[in-house]
Amino acid sequence: EAGAAVAAESSTGTWTTVWTDGLTSLDRYKGRCYHIEAVPGEEDQYIAYVAYPLDLFEEGSVTNMLTSIVGNVFGFKALRALRLEDLRIPTAYIKTFQGPPHGIQVERDKLNKYGRPLLGCTIKPKLGLSAKNYGRAVYECLRGGLDFTKDDENVNSQPFMRWRDR
């Protein structure tokens, strides 16, 4: 029951019948809990295997795929605990990713750095710095010998640190 609820919540968003179910071919989009096994040596713990139709995911979007699978279910009140143990991505979905537009050689050419590993860092604190202070931190890192800096995953274009200002 819990496995089916997780599959439903992370796909169609419902484990009960609602009137709008008749407006779509709901079965085509439902996640399915297709196998359950007890965790060896543990009481009341189970491994649930859940599969999702590829049509649920935007092509080439890791963000959409992960948000769809784990975004809502970890706060699901129907479960005491939940953990993602494994994620298998079908080749058909992997092929929807374009990959990087160029390889390491282009990066080395842009930086004029050859014959050694490239060295970079992520600016910390990742959030809270003004655009000016973020830029200052980047400047000091590069001046100190790093080849590049990388924005952390939470850094986008927040009001206190707009992308163009950085």
Per-residue model confidence (pLDDT) at position 16: 67
- Distance CA(90)–CA(56), nearest Å, equals 13
Q: Are residues 39 and 81 in the same domain?
A: yes
* Number of domains observed in the structure of the chain: 2
Question: Can you give the pLDDT at residue 31?
Answer: 87
Residue ranges for the chain with pLDDT beneath 50: none
7 and 89 share one domain: yes
The full length of the chain comes to 166
Q: Residue 115: what pLDDT?
A: 96
Question: Is the domain of 46 the same as that of 68?
Answer: yes
Same-domain pairing of 114 and 80: no
- Whether 90 and 109 map to the same domain: the answer is no
Name the pTM for this structure: 0.60
Q: Is residue 37 part of a domain?
A: yes
- State the residue range of the domain holding 61: 2-94
What pLDDT is stored for residue 39 in this prediction?
A: 93
Instruction: Determine the pLDDT at residue 128.
Output: 87
Inside any domain, residue 33: yes
Closest CA to 124 of 114, 134, 139: 134
Please tell me whether residues 70 and 110 are part of one structural domain: no
Q: Are 37 and 113 in a shared domain? A: no
What is the spatial distance between Cα 31 and Cα 20, in angstroms, rounded to a whole number? Answer: 18
In a domain, 142, yes or no: yes
User: In this structure, what CATH number is given to the domain that contains residue 77?
Assistant: 3.30.70.150
Same domain flag for 43 and 125: no
Residues 17 and 82 placed together within one structural domain of the fold: yes
Residue 8 shares a structural domain with residue 40: yes
Domain annotation covers residue 159: no
